[in-house]
Amino acid sequence: MENRIAVYPGNFDPVTNGHIDIIERAARIFPKVVVAVAASREKRSLLFSLEERVSFLKDLYQEHTCVEITSFNGLLIDFMKQHNAQVIIRGLRAVSDFEMEFQFALMNQQLAGDIETLFMMSRSTYSYLSSSAVKQVIRFKGNVSNLVPACVENALWAKFHG
Ligand code: ADP
């Protein structure tokens, strides 16, 4: 694993403690984890801009040399090749994640057979946690302080109730 670079792609709209748990566990396995925030707006309902989604992650990882935060546009496997990365990390929460993840993994395998997708099971504490659930809760002024970092919680409050 010495020179293996892992890429953890996603929308991170916004980053939650579930994502953070995956980043930290991946960073124990790989010497370098690149968190790649998707620039494309094909998911209609993104709440935060690309700059905002990247900046939450950069705030959290500014002192971690083995975690790099960046964004990507276009095909993930092209980004992987540009970064000389071999492994895609994805988190799996429940059966509901499986079908879509399975499809992406097989499509990427078809496009680039030398790139592997590695799935990490969600920690049980976070298996119900998603960015969209957090947005629903904050919309109705629920407490999300155990679910997202403080910078994200503040930004969510400002966005919905600012
Ligand atoms: P995407 O829209 O690409 O799925 P997300 O930002 O929602 O982007 O998620 C990025 C990755 O993180 C996905 O693999 C997703 O399954 C995983 N993930 C999201 N929330 C959790 C969680 N609570 N625990 C573990 N993995 C998670």
CA distance 146 to 24: 17
- Whole-angstrom Cα distance, residue 162 to residue 159? 6
Which residue, by CA, sits nearest to atom 22 of ligand 1?
18
Cα 114 to Cα 162: distance, rounded to the nearest angstrom: 47
Q: For residue 22, how far is its CA from the centre of ligand 1 (angstroms)?
A: 9
Structure tokens at 28: 């124990």
Phi/psi at 116 (nearest 5 deg)? -105, 145
For the chain, 162 residues long, give each residue's pLDDT as a single digit of tens: 556 999 999 999 999 999 999 999 999 999 999 999 999 766 668 999 999 999 999 999 998 889 999 999 999 999 999 999 999 999 999 888 999 999 999 999 999 999 999 999 999 999 999 999 999 999 999 999 999 999 999 999 999 998
Structure tokens given for 153: 């919680």
Is this structure's pTM higher than 0.85? yes
| Contact status, residue 16 vs residue 51, Cβ threshold 8 Å | no
Structure confidence at residue 162 (pLDDT): 86
> Could you give the CA distance from residue 44 to residue 78 in angstroms, rounded to a whole number?
23
Q: What is the DSSP letter of 5?
A: E
Taking the chain, what is the end-to-end CA distance rounded to the nearest angstrom?
Answer: 46
Q: Please tell me which residue in 43, 44, 145, 161 is annotated as part of the active site.
A: 43
Q: How far is the CA of 15 from the centre of ligand 1 (A)?
A: 9
Query: How far is Cα 21 from Cα 137, in angstroms, rounded to an integer?
Result: 21
